[in-house]
């Protein structure tokens, strides 16, 4: 277990340094942007904007998380590998993550320059961790309640949802270390919405400190998700405020990495929480001094 520096690519992140991971979907049917970054030009523009706004990690995905048109491993690689290579050329210091559960895709993107494999389907392909180990890449270990990739939860039940999250994510992380993945490149993710109903995701957020207490850096992927929408009864395009509120709570409870659509807004939230917690000085301090 780790509680110190997180090392990804050329970057090192301290224990009190919140990290923003910007989402770049290379899909024509993503739930939030509806394919806005499917083509290369807008996707590269999105990367430029995200980096300028303070994203340290770019998370590239070639398959929509939910059900939809079948995407083969070959097609997923076609959507991501060349793009990873170009982002690496343009941004040598940015951390490049790829959201995939397939070891074949993981192998190809690591060869193209990816630093991190975001296994959002929680070890559905056990060979993916082997790929991360072989290439010295980081790995995200996610709880999905055993859900198959690209399926929606149906009547999921847990005796204790956080206990299951802890058991699964710690198990995946320890297995990864056993395979040779660097411990300082591993994160655990409670998997909001994945294999969970809204009450499960709310409880996972409320009890997030139990995850951060393990010593593994915690990544949260909250951005505009269904649990936010159902909690507030808001459609996808009206979930930013709920997402930012959840981000603030997660930051207070010790999450380290935040996978988001809205980079600038998230950075402000994280900086404010860090300053309240005493980990960051105010950007300016003039009030009462003149």
Q: Residue ranges of the domains in the chain?
A: 6-277
**Distance between CA 14 and CA 183 in Å, rounded?**
15
What are the C-alpha distances in Å from 227 to residues 70, 163, 204, 210? Answer: 25, 20, 11, 20
Does residue 277 have a pLDDT over 70? Answer: yes
Q: What is the pLDDT of residue 31?
A: 72
What's the CA gap between 110 and 132, in Å, rounded? Answer: 8
Return the pLDDT at 46: 97
Please report the pLDDT score of residue 234 as a whole number.
Answer: 98
- Helix runs in 103-197, H state only: 103-112, 127-135, 161-179
CA atoms within 13 A on the CB side of 270: 23
pTM of the model: 0.96
Confidence band of 2 (pLDDT split at 50, 70, 90): low
- In whole angstroms, what is the distance from residue 13 CA to residue 108 CA? 26
- The CATH T-level fold of domain 6-277 is TIM Barrel (3.20.20)
Confidence class of residue 1 from pLDDT cuts 50, 70 and 90? very low
């Amino acid at each position: 277990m780790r509680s110190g520096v997180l090392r990804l690519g050329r970057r090192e992140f301290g224990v009190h340094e919140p990290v923003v991971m910007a989402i770049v979907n290379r899909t024509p049917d993503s739930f939030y942007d509806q394919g806005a970054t499917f083509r290369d030009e807008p996707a590269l523009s999105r990367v430029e904007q995200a980096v300028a706004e303070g994203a340290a990690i770019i998370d590239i995905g070639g398959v929509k998380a939910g059900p939809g048109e079948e995407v083969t491993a070959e097609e997923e690689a076609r959507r991501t590998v060349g793009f990873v290579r170009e982002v690496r050329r343009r941004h040598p210091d940015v951390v490049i993550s790829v959201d995939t559960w397939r070891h074949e895709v993981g192998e190809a993107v690591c060869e193209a320059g990816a630093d991190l494999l975001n296994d959002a389907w929680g070890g559905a392909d056990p060979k993916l961790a082997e790929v991360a180990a072989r290439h010295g890449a980081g790995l995200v270990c996610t709880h999905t309640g055993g859900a198959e990739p690209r399926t929606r939860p149906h009547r999921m039940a847990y005796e204790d949802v956080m206990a299951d999250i802890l058991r699964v994510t710690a198990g995946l992380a320890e297995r990864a270390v056993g395979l040779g993945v660097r411990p300082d490149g591993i994160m655990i993710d409670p998997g909001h919405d994945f294999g969970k109903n809204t009450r499960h995701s709310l409880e996972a957020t409320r009890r997030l400190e139990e995850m951060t207490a393990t010593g593994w850096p915690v990544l949260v992927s909250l951005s505009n998700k269904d649990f936010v929408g159902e909690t507030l009864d808001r459609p996808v395009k009206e979930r930013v405020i709920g997402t930012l509120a959840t981000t603030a709570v997660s930051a207070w409870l010790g999450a380290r990495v935040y996978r988001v659509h809205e980079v600038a807004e998230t950075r402000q939230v994280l900086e404010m929480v860090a300053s309240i917690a005493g980990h960051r000085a105010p950007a300016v301090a003039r009030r009462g001094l003149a």
